[in-house]
Amino acid sequence: MILLDGKAVAKDRRAKIKSEVDSFKSKFGKAPGLAVVLVGDDPASQVYVGSKEKACAKAGILSQRFDIDKTQNVEELDSLLNHLNADQDVHAVLVQIPIPKPFEYRSVLELLDPRKDVDGLTYDSMGRLWSGHKSVAPCTPRGVMEILKYYDINVAGKKAVVVGRSNIVGKPMAQLLMDENATVTVCHSKTPSLEEYTREADIVAVAAGKPRMFGKEDFKKDAVVIDVGIHRLDSGKLCGDVRFEELGGHASAATPAPGGVGPMTIAMLLQNTLDLATAIETRKLK
Ligand code: NDP
């Protein structure tokens, strides 16, 4: 079984991004800028945001963090988004999810300038993705496609199953696989006999958010298994949706979790920031 080592792929990609950021700076006289907005004080989000900021600094991307306290008015998030939309040094905006009530992610989707939508989640970005005119794809599914490409796994003509239909992972994952000519089935919590679908697939991307739900018996021999799930168990250990240790000698290739899709999500955040910054600064030159 080939270990699809997302950590190694991410390292390789991040080195390339760093050198592309250097060229960007020479060409445009500024760094690509990412604004990270954290609403509330969710401890896991604090950790994710911290690692995203560190990754930006290493790549030469200017990241700025904006904290909104959950006691602040909903309008303050709206006015921050308007400010970031207008800020010439901000090319990309990430609003970390989940966001606590009464704040609503919907207002982000409606207010954020799609040209700065680093996670590809605004209505405009999603419509573009589904209609074949994407600007940037959401970071996690884009990261999955990069892993497949890196290991020369051709998806054209293959049967692919995506487990999960969230806007941030499952749906865009299905579209990106379809863009590469896979025949895609999307499963979810209301799919009866889920294993009948996953066992038929050449490629399975699992994003159900259920710790260690899937094992060897859920995949056909020589399937490619991508585990998007990530969970911290009570013991403190991290695991995915798949029992990775069962796959040796059965799957043809699989991502571990941790060390698979997660590192690629951060690498693709950097790539998407650079892509958006390049598009914005190039438009200004015209
Ligand atoms: P959501 O909770 O938004 O979506 C989960 C999806 O899985 C839903 O569509 C749900 O179906 C489906 N599902 C839930 N239970 C089952 C089941 N028993 N059988 C079949 N389908 C099921 O999660 P996300 O998409 O945001 O994330 C999924 C996982 O990926 C999580 O573990 C998350 O932590 C991880 N993740 C990892 C990232 C990374 O960088 N590695 C980045 C983003 C997410 P329904 O629609 O019917 O409710």
**Domains of the chain with CATH codes:** 29-116 (3.40.50.10860), 139-263 (3.40.50.720)
Residue 23 alpha carbon to ligand 1 centre in Å: 37
pTM, full prediction: 0.97
Could you read off the pLDDT tens digit of each residue along the chain, which spans 286 residues?
999 999 999 999 999 999 999 999 999 999 999 999 999 999 889 989 999 999 999 999 999 999 999 888 899 999 999 999 999 999 999 999 999 999 998 889 999 999 999 999 999 999 999 999 988 999 999 999 999 999 999 999 999 999 999 999 999 999 999 999 999 999 999 999 999 999 999 999 999 999 999 999 999 999 999 999 999 999 999 999 999 999 999 999 999 999 999 999 999 999 999 999 999 999 998 8
To test ligand 1's pocket by mutation, which of 166, 213, 255, 261 has the most ligand atoms within 8 angstroms of CB? Answer: 166
In angstroms, rounded to a whole number, what is the distance separating the alpha carbons of residues 205 and 261?
A: 10
To test ligand 1's pocket by mutation, which of 47, 96, 189 has the most ligand atoms within 8 angstroms of CB? Answer: 189
Q: What is the pLDDT of residue 135?
A: 85
Assigned token pair, 39: 């609403």
Nearest residue by C-alpha to atom 31 in ligand 1: 209
Q: What is the pLDDT of residue 72?
A: 87
- Write phi, then psi, for 238 (nearest 5 degrees): -95, 145
**Among candidates 125, 230, 240, 111, which has minimal Cα distance to 175?**
125
**Among candidates 97, 80, 92, which has minimal Cα distance to 117?**
92
Q: Strand locations in the chain, DSSP E?
A: 2-3, 33-39, 62-68, 92-95, 159-163, 183-187, 203-206, 224-227, 231-232, 238-239, 253-254
For residue 170, give the ligand 1 atom closest to its CA. Answer: 25
Phi-psi region of 209 (alpha: psi -120 to 50; beta: other; left: phi over 0): left
Phi-psi region of 182 (alpha: psi -120 to 50; beta: other; left: phi over 0): beta
In angstroms, rounded to a whole number, what is the distance separating the alpha carbons of residues 51 and 42?
A: 15
| Positions marked catalytic | 52, 96, 119
Q: Which residue has the tokens 């949706």?
A: 241
Enumerate residues lining ligand 1, CB below 6 A. Answer: 140, 163-166, 168-170, 187-191, 194, 207-210, 228-231, 261-262, 265
In angstroms, rounded to a whole number, what is the distance separating the alpha carbons of residues 207 and 162?
A: 7
Residue 35 alpha carbon to ligand 1 centre in Å: 26
Q: What is the pLDDT of residue 70?
A: 86
Cβ neighbours of 255 (radius 10 Å): 30
Give the neighbor-by-neighbor strand order of the sheet with 2-3.
Answer: 2-3, 253-254, 224-227, 203-206, 159-163, 183-187
